[in-house]
Structure 1
Amino acid sequence: MIASFFTLCCRPSREGRLEFVSRTMLKATLRIGDLKTFDPAVRDCSIAIGESYIRPFQHKSLESLLLKNSDQWFFVIRERQRVADEFGTNPIATANASADQLRQSYQQCMHWPLDFVVIEAARRGPRLQVRAGHIGSLPIYFHVEERTRTVTLSWDFVDFLGTSRAIDAEIIAHHLSMRTFYSARQPCAGINLPTAGATLYVDRSETSFEYGSLDPFTRPCTYKTWRLM
């Protein structure tokens, strides 16, 4: 029932309108402990980090890049400015980079004119950041398992229904009445959907989320920071 509900209800825009989203991005399971021990490696059409993985959706309108060095790495999947000729034949581009090159490339990604999702990881901590694009039209649900410090990301809400979860009655009531409000909250408690420009931060002990700034080309604002439960 909940899965069917999500095929109809999509994220609200800043003005409260429902936006129907049909495009997809990636699926990933990332254990914080793996980020300290293992380097990311491209295997076929996915990225492996120990037992953790990132599986970008293969589509001619999307492109993926993994940039890394010995201390940190980031992965971006984004909408292409020019559509590729062939469907599903786009490999994950990967390269080693200095800290300065990594920083410069990251900033370029933040100013990408189309939508994107960036996953950034550092060995020290270890720590993980997931950043949604400033358009925010591509769905990427997430859940953080506090006991194992594992982050699950997916464009498909059905992937999160394996475990029984409490229902957020307030959110469901707003959707059914077609009076949605701008929020990352979803009908199942503990499952969230990053809004435009939002940032999820996870390390060994802390989990936090920041809503994006109204200015799409600035860092997320801090006045709407909340701790995930």
Structure 2
Amino acid sequence: MLKASIALTDLAFDPHWDGSAVCFGDSRIAPFAHPALETLLVRTDGQWFMAVRERRADGGAPVRRLDVDAAEFEQRHRECLLWPLDYLMVEAAQAGCRVKIRAGVFGVLPVYARTGDDRLELSWDAGDLTRVPTALDIEIASHRLALHTMYSARQLAVGIVMLTERASLSLEPGKASHHYPPPASDTQPAPPRAADAWLAEFAAHLREAIDARPFIADRAAIELSGGMDSATVACGLAAIKRPHASLGILLEGETRVPQLRRRGAIVERLGLHDHNVEIAALPPSLDLRPVPGRPLGFNQEYYLEACAALWDQAAALGCDRLYTGVGGDELFPDYRHELSSEGEAFDVQRERAHRTAVDRLLTPRAREAARSLHCFGAPASPVPATSLAAQACRAADIARRGLWPVNPLSDPYLVRFCHQLPVEQRRGRALMQRYLQAKLGEDTFPAGYRKETFEQVFPDLIAANAAMLAGQLRECALADLGLVDVRGVMDLLDAVATRRERVPTAVLVSFLWLERLARQLG
């Protein structure tokens, strides 16, 4: 939500707004300039804070500067800490040249930090912080290669941290510390109620999540895959306001026809202006050579080429807000005590296949690191960690195009409501399916609906590019770092190219992306 270069000694100077940033001495804090956001600078004797936050539906000035007494300073500070949408705060004490950075609960556009002697660099674009030589964190890389989902302050580059939701980073001369928040409270079952009551409350929570922010129809676009998550957001928007544009990536293979039918029905029934791209025309790049001037982040969107084309279309249409279905996969979990023995057996088989593929790839050193219980993960949060990680994969690329991502299904109040549902409302997303049938008709998402996925994209793509990959992997950065065995890499590449197996493909794709990052960090 901001970029900053701060020398701690400059904190002794009074801050001022220069029209685009808060400046003090030679230091500068520049908010992400966007109509969805507002900036607040509050000063009192000896201290000040700056907040960049999502604008509420009732609106506010893009930038406000206030000089206040100590009592009002505390009031404004508390108001920012309790802000109902996402925010980032920079708090400064001039005496002692101390600064604290705080993040809000939503994690929409996370900020990365690099600290050094008397200096702090902040950016929502991790690539800004890797333009200087940076080493790969071996332990984090080992977990990533093993496909372990992690949401953590600690990142793939040594010395760079991400402010996770509700976390803070404190600095004073010669000292820096990162503080995680307390974990979110455990989910408790909700009191019983009639099926229609569950449906009405789900619709109400979705409405509140959408209604919290300003909305201008011809400046809003929605990602519409044809799946239940994005369709739910589209219906939620249409129930309140009419979105202007829908954007979607069209798949190949056996899921293409049902995807086209469903997207067509949703677009027609909600009156959307639809735009799409073909995944076959914009497949993921497998070229391991870093692209000059386009550094990778630490949480990568694997289908960036096709997604970027959609986001460019949204920007060309004059849109500045992008509504997504991120978070839908996490709304209706199956808890361990609810799993059947058949489901547990399937999970065990999948885990065994996954472990075999990982063991084929990693060196003994990396296997040991990946099997260790990591103690650096952020605590349980009101927004599920996998939703936060998904947002981190895409947000910077979306923001570079002047778009602000809005993820209603990641709203913490909607998440808590759905997690408290009885099993019959959660299993198979039953409640969401009923909501969609009420809005779109029972034919759109009937019983037995099968989710569209990208799972066939990479096996065929890798098979077509196996010779190129084999040539580029004669020199392997991750092998030089002692993380992967080159023979294991080639065996895995051959297995995917010849048999198109799902688990080896996932392991290989994760390796290929990390190999490209390792070459970039160099």
Q: 1:150 aligns with which of 119, 139, 144?
A: 119
Match of 1:78 in 2: 53
Residue matched to 2:9: 33
AA aligned to 2:147 is M
Aligned position for 1:184:
153
Q: CA deviation at 1:210?
A: 0.4
Q: How far did 1:161 drift? A: 1.6
Q: Say which of 56, 59, 75 aligns to 1:104.
A: 75
- Count of aligned residue pairs for this structure pair: 186
Structure showing greater radius of gyration is 2
Instruction: Work out whether residues 106 and 165 of structure 2, in 8 Å CA contact, stay in contact via their aligned partners in 1.
Output: yes
Matched, 1:138 2:109: yes
1:68 paired with 2:79, answer no
Q: Verify the 8 A CA contact 1:61 1:84 in the aligned structure 2.
A: no
Distance 1:156 1:40 in 2: 24
**For each residue in 1:55-96, what CA deviation from the matched residue of structure 2 results, as whole angstroms up to 9, or x when unmatched?**
1011111111000023100000011112879xxxx6421010
In the TM superposition, what whole-angstrom CA distance separates every residue of 1:40-65 from its partner, at most 9, and x where no partner exists?
11001111111000110111111110
| Partner-residue secondary structure (3-state), 2:127 | helix
Letter in 2 for 1:142: A
Equivalent-residue separation in structure 2 for 1:179 and 1:186 (angstroms)? 13
- The letter of the residue matching 2:4 is A
Give yes or no for contact 1:60–1:84 (8 Å, CA) kept in 2. no
- Give the equivalent residue in structure 1 for 2:87: 116
- Farther-moved stretch of structure 1 (63-72 vs 206-215): 206-215
Q: 3-state DSSP class of the match of 1:78?
A: strand
**Distance between the aligned counterparts of 1:151 and 1:83, measured in 2?**
34
Quote how far apart the aligned CAs of 1:174 are: 2.5
1:60–1:83 contact (8 Å) kept in structure 2: no
Amino acid at match of 2:91: E
Question: What letter matches 2:163 in structure 1?
Answer: P
Amino acid at match of 1:140: V
**Higher strand fraction: Structure 1 or Structure 2?**
1
Identity %: 37
For residues 119 and 28 of structure 1, the distance between their equivalents in structure 2, rounded to whole angstroms, comes to 10
SS at 1:104 equivalent: helix
CA distance in 2, matches of 1:83, 1:104: 20
Distance 2:24 2:184 in 1: 34
Unaligned runs of 5+ in 1: 1-24, 217-223, 225-229
8 Å CA contact retained: 2:37, 2:62: no
Q: Give CA deviations for 1:161-199 in whole Å, capped at 9, x if unaligned.
A: 221111112222323433122311111000010111111
8 A contact 1:195–1:212 mirrored in 2? no
In the superposition, relative to structure 1, how do residues 84 and 165 fare at CA in structure 2: closer, same or farther (>3 Å)? same
Per-residue CA deviations over 1:11-33 (Å, capped at 9, x if unaligned) read: xxxxxxxxxxxxxx110111110
Unaligned runs of 5+ in 2: 186-375, 377-522
**Native 8 Å contact 1:27 1:154 kept in 2:** yes
| Partner in structure 2 of residue 201 of structure 1 | 170
2:28 counterpart of 1:53: yes
- The verdict on how the C-alpha distance between 1:214 and 1:137 changes in structure 2, with shifts beyond 3 A counting, is farther
**Could you tell me how far apart the structure 2 residues matched to 1:121 and 1:112 are?**
19
Q: What amino acid is aligned across from residue 152 of structure 1 in structure 2? A: E
Structure ranking higher in helix proportion? 2
- SS in structure 2 at match of 1:192: strand
Kindly indicate whether the alpha-carbon contact (under 8 Å) linking 1:42 and 1:92 is maintained by their aligned counterparts in 2.
no
State how far apart, in whole Å, the 2-side matches of 1:162 and 1:49 are: 24
Q: Is the 8 A contact 1:29 1:152 kept in 2?
A: yes
Provide the rounded CA distance (Å) in 1 between the counterparts of 2:49 and 2:123.
Answer: 17
More RCO (CA 8 Å, sep 6+): 1
One-letter amino acid of the counterpart of residue 7, structure 2: R
Contact 2:52/2:88 (CA < 8 Å) preserved in 1? yes
> How far apart are the structure 2 equivalents of 1:135 and 1:29?
24
- For 1:220, the equivalent position in structure 2 comes to none
